[in-house]
């Protein structure tokens, strides 16, 4: 079935460093290097450390019809 040992498999995802510690990422915990780094990131999301900014209240009042 092997056509030759020179054939290379193209990875589906590019290799990237772990966003927490910078070590090479692991396939099982991608994009993290370990379960520990994955859990650290999840904990930050659950505590609300990562915040996605919303619209300002001033922008919403500009669209209200005049009273």
| pLDDT tens for each residue of 1-35 | 555 555 687 767 678 899 999 999 998 999 999 99
Q: Could you list the residue range(s) of the whole structural domain that residue 37 is in? A: 14-49
Measured CA angle at 41 (ends 39, 42), to 5 deg: 65
Domain assignment present for 18 = yes
| Count of structural domains within the chain | 1
The tokens for 28 are 């099982």
- CA-based max dimension of the chain: 77
Is the predicted pLDDT of residue 61 greater than 90, yes or no? no
Residue 45 lies in a domain: yes
Stretch 32-46: mean pLDDT: 96
Other Cβ atoms closer than 10 A to 18: 19
**Residue 36: pLDDT over 90:** yes
Plot region of 66 (φ>0 → left; ψ -120 to 50 → alpha; else → beta):
beta
Beta bridge partners of residue 17, listed in sequence order: 24
Annotated binding site for Zn(2+), which residues?
A: 18, 21, 33, 37
Residue 59 domain flag: no
The token pair at 55 is 């619209």
Assess if residue 66 is contained within a domain.
no
| Residues flagged as binding site | 18, 21, 33, 37
């Amino acid at each position: 079935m092997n056509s030759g040992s020179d054939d290379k498999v193209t990875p589906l995802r590019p290799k990237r460093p772990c966003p927490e510690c910078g070590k090479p990422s692991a396939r099982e915990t991608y994009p993290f290097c370990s379960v520990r780094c994955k859990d650290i990131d999840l904990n930050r999301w659950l505590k609300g450390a990562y915040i996605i900014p919303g619209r300002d209240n001033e922008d919403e009042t500009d669209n209200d019809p005049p009273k």
